[in-house]
């Protein structure tokens, strides 16, 4: 991917850790100037930016809550101030499970929180970045295998929110395609991240990994490399697609 995104400006929401960090590193390695956003991991964000700079890349850290429009506006503004008026790549990684809750334990406030974190953040960043994205730009959203299969126990709200991300991806591919902007999504499966460290028991992780076609968990870097490809001109005729990155755990 070296040089495939030279001098392009990229924004990565949730770009400090795990998949977001991997995406930030891969985009920078391909030559992009990267605005790394984080809400709850400032130290990891600083490390991600430092690692990019140490490798000869350009990056800034912009803390902020991607469910708050003012913070998203500030992210876009700081990226443009640092690197130029146009934003060529947006990767929406911000999201999370929040908690595992079955239907009886969910209330509307919890549902709204999960939707806001996963879907509203994607909507806000897409809306505000698209206004500054030229033809040839690319948006990559982070959905989930949960959106394909309904998720594991207690993940109904998360799976539903990620399903909304998948549908939004298709809708934006149609709407923004008229301006030459491509919109795709990735649907990661069992990836070795702090998400699963927090919410998935070791025995469950081992069982799921053993049942994939490749017999293992994925690595964040494997998702990051695929996202960087989708953001590049190598994927110039690819839009409106939701790509499974799950080691063969689930086939559409």
> Is pLDDT of 199 > 80?
no
Interval 45-85: pLDDT, tens: 999 999 999 999 999 999 999 999 999 999 999 999 999 99
| Confidence category of residue 237, pLDDT binned at 50, 70, 90 | very high
Whether 158 is a known active-site residue: answer yes
Catalytic residue among 83, 119, 158, 226: 158
Interval 25-44: pLDDT, tens: 999 999 999 999 999 999 99
- Going along the chain from its start, the domains and CATH numbers come out as 9-236 (3.40.50.720)
Interval 160-197: pLDDT, tens: 999 999 999 999 999 999 999 999 999 999 898 887 77
Report field, pTM of the whole predicted structure over 0.85: yes
One-letter-per-residue 3-state SS of the chain = CCCCCCCCEEEEECCCCHHHHHHHHHHHHCCCEEEEEECCCHHHHHHHHHHHHHCCCEEEEEECCCCCHHHHHHHHHHHHHHHCCCCCEEEECCCCCCCCCCHHHCCHHHHHHHHHHHHHHHHHHHHHHHCCCCCCCEEEEECCCHHHHCCCCCCHHHHHHHHHHHHHHHHHHHHHHCCCCEEEEEEECCECCHHHHHHCCHHHHHHHHHHCCCCCCECHHHHHHHHHHHHCHHHCCCCCCEEEECCCCCCC
Residue 197: the pLDDT is: 77
Interval 129-166: pLDDT, tens: 999 999 999 999 999 999 999 999 999 999 999 999 99
């Amino acid at each position: 991917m070296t040089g495939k995104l030279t001098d392009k400006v990229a924004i990565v929401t949730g770009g400090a850790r795990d998949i977001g960090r991997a995406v930030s590193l891969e985009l920078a390695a391909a030559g992009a100037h990267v605005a790394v956003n984080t809400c709850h991991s400032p130290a990891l964000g600083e490390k991600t930016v430092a690692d990019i700079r140490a490798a000869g890349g350009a990056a800034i850290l912009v803390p902020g809550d991607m469910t708050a429009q003012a913070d998203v506006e500030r992210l876009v503004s700081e990226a443009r101030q640092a690197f130029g008026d146009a934003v060529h790549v947006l990767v929406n990684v911000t999201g999370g499970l929040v908690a595992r809750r079955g239907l009886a334990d969910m209330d509307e406030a919890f549902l709204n929180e999960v939707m806001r974190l996963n879907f509203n953040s994607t909507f806000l960043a897409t809306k505000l970045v698209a206004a500054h994205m030229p033809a040839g730009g690319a948006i990559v959203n982070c959905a989930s295998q949960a959106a394909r299969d309904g998720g594991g126990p207690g993940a109904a709200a998360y799976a539903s929110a990620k399903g909304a991300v998948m549908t939004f991806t298709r809708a934006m591919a149609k709407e923004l395609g008229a301006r030459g902007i491509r919109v795709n999504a990735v649907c990661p499966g069992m990836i070795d991240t702090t998400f699963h460290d927090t919410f998935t028991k070791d025995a469950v992780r081992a069982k799921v990994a053993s049942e994939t076609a490749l017999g293992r968990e994925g690595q964040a870097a494997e998702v990051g490399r695929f996202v960087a490809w989708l953001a590049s001109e190598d994927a110039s005729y690819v839009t409106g697609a939701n790509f499974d990155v799950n080691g063969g755990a689930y086939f559409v």
